[in-house]
């Protein structure tokens, strides 16, 4: 299978590239990535010499490079996106550009080149917040942030291309991922690396917001399965079944690192902060998928990875990251 992965230098994309090269002998992968602040070729250092892998630097909004890169592909998996909710609140424009227009640029190329499979990587955040129970794939979209609204816009375009042009699309909507190589702006790597350095952990609001945590390797297995066996035009939820409050995660991270809870700081809440996310994954279970990594084991492994790889995150936590952190967290930084 000749696969084009976009956004493969980011967190989930790089884990997916590594997962696919390790799991399938007959796969070749071209990784099209713009290398924004979140893209990092260090994430794929260990596979860059694999003859089945090639990197192309480029923007998914650039129709020429997209068409050149996609020509001859058997499948496209689109991870490329602006992904951080807080950044979408302070500056939504890049989100609309990459997440909506970029997706449209890819869809157009897929249509023109007759590519047999297009998988859009989406998020459970498109459904919005749910007090009790879980969203199914048929639930209405009700996004709260400019990030989730952009992702919802992309999902609607993807499904419209299927209905209108018969484009063979698939969508996965996963819950919050955690694991190695996640940019330290998201809660898990931010809190682990701050705690290592005895820096405060900024908990938004009352810390009782709930996310469903999914280890990135389990997400990669789900994406691989949907790519091979999903039905065109269909959406598949991918969740870990781990509904956990932010404060609980924060305490577990501190516990695993042997740090004091005095590092916890309650700070102003995120505007439009969704209270709880939860997805029903019966449809993907029907294809034979189930998460294999318990949250306890996965979080412990993840903490160990960041502790063992300061050479990965210390350089990140200097330049652009530092400026962002000061803007976002003010006095705390
Ligand atoms: P990330 O921010 O770590 O990486 C995004 C990657 O996309 C980077 O390598 C970046 O350089 C690249 N990129 C950004 N704009 C681009 C453009 N215009 N052209 C080409 N490349 C571009 O993101 P992630 O956490 O790995 O998320 C990957 C995908 O999964 C996203 O679509 C996101 O919406 C979705 N998702 C993420 C999570 C999560 O918990 N991280 C959960 C559900 C869904
Ligand atoms: P985040 O990792 O940004 O993912 P998302 O917003 O896509 O779910 O945030 C996860 C949860 O952690 C969310 O409820 C917001 C909260 N959070 C904090 O309390 N403090 C922080 O510094 C960050 C980044 C997130």
In whole angstroms, give the CA distance from residue 13 to residue 180: 12
Distance between terminal CA atoms of the chain?
Answer: 46
In whole angstroms, give the CA distance from residue 37 to residue 81: 12
Q: How far is CA 235 from the centre of its chain?
A: 16
Which residue from 181, 242, 248, 219 is spatially nearest to 46, judged by alpha carbons? Answer: 181
- Burial profile 296-324: b = 16 or more Cβ within 10 angstroms, e = fewer: eebbeebbebbeeeeebbeebbeeebeeb
Q: Is residue 248 part of a domain?
A: yes
Q: What pLDDT is stored for residue 128 in this prediction?
A: 98
Q: Is residue 281 part of a domain?
A: no
Query: Do 204 and 265 reside in the same domain of the chain?
Result: yes
In whole angstroms, give the CA distance from residue 104 to residue 61: 8
Q: How far is CA 290 from the centre of its chain?
A: 19
Q: Is residue 69 part of a domain?
A: yes
Tell me how crowded residue 94 is: count the other CB atoms within 10 A of its CB.
16
Nearest CA to ligand 2 atom 4: 186
Q: What pLDDT is stored for residue 318 in this prediction?
A: 87
Which residue from 330, 31, 38 is spatially nearest to 189, judged by alpha carbons? Answer: 38
Q: What pLDDT is stored for residue 161 in this prediction?
A: 98
C-alpha of residue 274 to centroid of ligand 2, in Å: 10
Number of domains in the chain: 2
Q: Is residue 285 part of a domain?
A: no
In whole angstroms, give the CA distance from residue 3 to residue 20: 10
Query: Do 11 and 101 reside in the same domain of the chain?
Result: yes
Picking from 220, 238, 256, the residue at the C-terminal end of a domain is 238
Query: Do 137 and 259 reside in the same domain of the chain?
Result: no
- Give one DSSP letter per residue of 277-289, joined into a string: --B--HHHHTTT-
C-alpha of residue 204 to centroid of ligand 2, in Å: 8
Domain CATH number, residue 156: 3.40.50.720
CB 82 within 8 A of CB 9: no
**Ligand 1 neighbours by CB, cut-off 6 Å:** 6-7, 9-13, 33-36, 38-39, 59-61, 79-83, 98, 102, 121, 123, 151, 174, 176-177, 183
Domain CATH number, residue 247: 3.90.25.10
Question: Would residue 124 show up in a list of annotated catalytic residues for this protein?
Answer: yes
C-alpha of residue 193 to centroid of ligand 2, in Å: 15
Phi, psi of 31 (to 5 degrees): -105, 110
Q: What pLDDT is stored for residue 333 in this prediction?
A: 79
* Tens of pLDDT, residues 262-307: 999 999 999 999 999 999 999 999 999 999 999 999 999 999 999 9
CB 300 within 8 A of CB 178: no
Q: Is residue 284 part of a domain?
A: no
**Ligand 2 neighbours by CB, cut-off 6 Å:** 85, 176, 186-187, 190, 202-204, 209, 211, 246, 270
Q: What pLDDT is stored for residue 183 in this prediction?
A: 98
Which residues lie closer than 8 Å to 231 by C-beta, 6 or more apart?
170
Give the DSSP letter of residue 291: -
Residues of the chain with pLDDT under 70: none
User: Residue 123 corresponds to which tokens in the numbers above?
Assistant: 């998020």
Q: Is residue 107 part of a domain?
A: yes
In whole angstroms, give the CA distance from residue 157 to residue 127: 16
Phi, psi of 158 (to 5 degrees): -60, -45
Query: Do 259 and 135 reside in the same domain of the chain?
Result: no
pTM metric for this prediction = 0.98
Question: Would residue 277 show up in a list of annotated catalytic residues for this protein?
Answer: no
Q: What pLDDT is stored for residue 331 in this prediction?
A: 81
Query: Do 92 and 103 reside in the same domain of the chain?
Result: yes
Query: Do 253 and 156 reside in the same domain of the chain?
Result: no
In whole angstroms, give the CA distance from residue 291 to residue 216: 10
Q: Is residue 313 part of a domain?
A: yes
Nearest CA to ligand 2 atom 5: 85
Token pair 């994430």: residue:
43
């Amino acid at each position: 299978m000749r696969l084009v992965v976009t956004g493969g230098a980011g967190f989930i994309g790089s884990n997916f590239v590594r997962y696919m090269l390790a799991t399938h002998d007959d796969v070749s992968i071209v990784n099209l990535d713009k290398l924004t602040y979140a893209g990092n070729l260090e994430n794929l250092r260990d596979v860059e010499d694999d003859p089945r892998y090639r990197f192309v630097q480029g923007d998914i909004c650039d129709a020429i490079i997209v068409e050149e890169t996609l020509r001859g592909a058997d499948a496209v998996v689109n991870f490329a996106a602006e992904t951080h909710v807080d950044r979408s609140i302070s500056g939504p424009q890049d989100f609309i550009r990459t997440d909506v227009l970029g997706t449209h640029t890819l869809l157009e190329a897929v249509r023109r080149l007759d590519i047999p499979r297009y998988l859009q990587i989406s998020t459970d955040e498109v459904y919005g917040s749910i007090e009790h129970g879980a969203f199914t794939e048929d639930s209405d979209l009700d996004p709260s942030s400019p990030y989730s609204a952009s992702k919802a816009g992309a999902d609607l375009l993807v499904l419209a291309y299927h209905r209108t042009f018969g484009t063979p699309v698939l969508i996965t909507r996963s819950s919050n991922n955690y694991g190695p190589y996640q940019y330290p702006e998201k809660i898990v790597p931010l809190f682990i690396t701050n705690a290592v350095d005895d820096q405060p952990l900024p908990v938004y609001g009352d810390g009782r917001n709930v996310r469903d945590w999914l280890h990135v390797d389990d997400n990669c297995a789900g994406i691989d399965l949907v790519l091979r066996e999903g039905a065109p035009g269909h959406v598949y939820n991918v969740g870990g079944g781990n509904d956990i409050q932010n404060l609980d995660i924060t305490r577990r991270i501190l516990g695993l690192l042997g740090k004091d809870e005095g590092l916890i700081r309650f700070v102003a809440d995120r505007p439009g902060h969704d209270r709880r996310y939860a997805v029903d994954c019966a449809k993907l279970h029907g294809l034979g998928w189930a998460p294999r990594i318990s949250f306890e084991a996965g979080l412990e492994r993840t903490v160990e990875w960041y502790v063992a790889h300061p050479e990965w995150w210390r350089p990140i936590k200097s330049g652009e990251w530092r400026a962002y952190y000061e803007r976002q967290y003010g006095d705390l930084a």
